[in-house]
Chain A
């Protein structure tokens, strides 16, 4: 039987604008925090996985190298906005099959100001010349379809951002720590109908680090482990005549994760979902099975995803408020859920959380992870 994998340590470099810092500077802060949290020295780490998207050649060496030079294998991992959750899954694969006892994931990104972009890479041509490569437009078109089919209102989407900003105000590592009311959000500049500026995740500089260990190794350090229990990843699958209406095969992978973990949506106490733009949480509330298809709008509107709601989502502010340094985001999701399951999330704590679900998506690549206490 495969070894269980423990999330032994987590750490972040605060998310925000850090033009004066290198990726190595930010990675070092996150990595040292995670190692301290884990209670292990760097020399015990047997493998490093560095998640980033646009940081150039050998970013793994430039980040892990800031912490030490112990000769370990280091692998760079890229899956767009889902890079560091995929890096954690690769580390977990290796630990569960007995290759390593202790591995570390660093996620890091420095980004340009402006909106998230780059759907088509830098290929140019029709989509670029005709202005189609506008990232929020993709979410906006799915949102329009959702409104058409299910009567969802733009206020429902805006509610996601209102809740995220309220949660972000409770998170000292968040890029935005200021609550916004619904009118602020609805009246901010329209970007792509129905998505306004305050319904778009920002571009962000930041780093996350996660130390993963085999259950046996973890026993030396903690009596109350949080497990990376189940992880599944995938990419879109062709279905005749069925265009994609969200960022990847979310529902399929969620079902797989639930089956593998031996639980269902009702067993989840707290979740992290990929809210790159506010409609994301509405779609994912449905796709992850928290509410019936088509009812995500009212479900969010009624407060079910608040910290005190039926299924708290993005308690740390999510991509919208915590920020979205694309290579570091998955690690930040793991960090928040680990704190929640340890009962150490402070004013954001979900009472008695024991089981958590995480969804991280990157231009079609999707990871769904179950964490258990």
Chain B
């Protein structure tokens, strides 16, 4: 008899550096240099500031502000989003910039400086039956 589960396994989409720990709020995963304290997104192995190898994985703040944006008026082949949509760079309190898209807002009313929060969505289901998760930001 097939096993049933109420909470299917969730995995991040490749390139979406999400921390999806059960029982915790999802967060973007960055890394911090234990030597100089600089923080990076996406995660990397070698510190760009002091060249220390082996950085600590950290959960980044779920809230940030809109650093800059544009309204894309054409859809890209193979993309999950369709025009018009807002491509954004979100600055988190750690100082890192996250390239992403916005949701839950009229594109025409978007302004730099907007307070935003992370939102995680199911993008697809993979061959193993796990939910492939992606992220966007929405007005906080």
Chain A residues at the B interface, C-beta cutoff of 8 Å: 115, 117, 123-134, 137, 140-145, 148, 189-193, 195, 238, 240-241, 243
Complex: A143 Cα to B112 Cα, angstroms: 12
A131 touches B13 (CB 8 A): no
B99 contacts A by Cβ under 8 Å: yes
Q: What are 27 A-B pairs with beta-carbon distances under 8 A?
A: A117-B76, A123-B15, A124-B14, A126-B16, A126-B134, A129-B78, A129-B80, A131-B72, A131-B75, A132-B99, A132-B100, A134-B74, A137-B72, A141-B88, A141-B89, A143-B70, A148-B68, A191-B72, A192-B70, A192-B73, A193-B70, A238-B49, A240-B38, A240-B49, A240-B95, A243-B67, A243-B89
8 Å CB contact of A191 from B74, B123, B134, B136? B74
Complex: A238 Cα to B81 Cα, angstroms: 31
* Given A144-B112, A192-B87, A130-B134 contact (CB < 8 Å): yes
B79, B88, B123, B134 interface centre (most CB from chain A within 10 Å): B79
Interface Cβ pair total, 8 Å cutoff: 97
Complex: A74 Cα to B74 Cα, angstroms: 41
B73 touches A190 (CB 8 A): yes
Cβ-closest chain A residue relative to B81: A131
Complex: A148 Cα to B69 Cα, angstroms: 11
- Chain B residues, Cβ within 8 Å of A191: 72-74
Cβ-closest chain A residue relative to B12: A126
B59 contacts A by Cβ under 8 Å: no
- Chain A residues, Cβ within 8 Å of B105: none
Complex: A145 Cα to B136 Cα, angstroms: 20
Chain B residues at the A interface, C-beta cutoff of 8 Å: 13-16, 38, 48-49, 67-76, 78-81, 85, 87-89, 95, 97, 99-101, 112, 123, 134, 136
B73 touches A189 (CB 8 A): yes
B68 touches A130 (CB 8 A): no
Cβ-closest chain A residue relative to B79: A131
A134 touches B15 (CB 8 A): no
Complex: A344 Cα to B87 Cα, angstroms: 45
Cβ-closest chain A residue relative to B95: A241
Cβ-closest chain A residue relative to B108: A193
- Chain A residues, Cβ within 8 Å of B48: 238
- Chain B residues, Cβ within 8 Å of A241: 95
B13 touches A129 (CB 8 A): yes
Complex: A140 Cα to B69 Cα, angstroms: 8
B71 touches A192 (CB 8 A): yes
Task: Please list the 6 inter-chain residue pairs (A to B) with the smallest Cβ-Cβ separation, ordered nearest first.
Answer: A125-B15, A126-B15, A140-B70, A131-B79, A238-B48, A125-B14
